[in-house]
Amino acid sequence: KAPIVEGALLSSVLVPFIKLEPPYTELIELVDAIHDIWAEEGKNRERVGEFIQRVGLGNFLEAIGVEPVPEMVAHPRENPYVFYEEYFEEDDEEESEEES
């Protein structure tokens, strides 16, 4: 079992829109390229996301042969966890204001 080194990671969109049709050769080639570079350059027990953070998204995209496009978002938000208590507190406050 691999240790969690960086904690929770948010994903990045590597290929924003790809039409998949059998025999799915484009997807297979992409996955093979990702696996090859990760197997060659990745550290022992390093997850793919940690590898991308270490080498940089631009370098990773260049290594797998994918051109960067604006739809590839590196930081959609800082914290991947959603705490619903905040939303419930806001709803309770709004309801109490409406009742007044």
- Segments forming the whole domain that contains residue 62: 25-75
- What pLDDT, on the 0 to 100 scale, is given for residue 51? 92
Per residue in 65-85, pLDDT (tens digit) is 998 887 676 555 666 666 666
Per residue in 28-72, pLDDT (tens digit) is 999 999 999 999 999 988 889 889 989 998 899 999 999 888 767
Determine, yes or no, domain membership for 66: yes
Determine, yes or no, domain membership for 57: yes
- What pLDDT, on the 0 to 100 scale, is given for residue 1? 46
Determine, yes or no, domain membership for 86: no
Per residue, the 3-state secondary structure of the chain, as one string, reads: CCCCCCCCCCCCCCCCCCCCCCCCHHHHHHHHHHHHHHHHHCCCCCCHHHHHHHHCHHHHHHHHCCCCCCCCCCCCCCCCCCCCHHHHHHHHHHHHHHHC
Indicate the number of domains in the chain: 1
Determine, yes or no, domain membership for 48: yes
Determine, yes or no, domain membership for 14: no
Half-sphere exposure of 8 (CA within 13 A, CB side): 7
Indicate if the pLDDT at residue 27 is higher than 70: yes
Determine, yes or no, domain membership for 9: no
Higher-confidence position of 78 and 27:
27
Determine, yes or no, domain membership for 4: no
Indicate if the pLDDT at residue 18 is higher than 50: yes
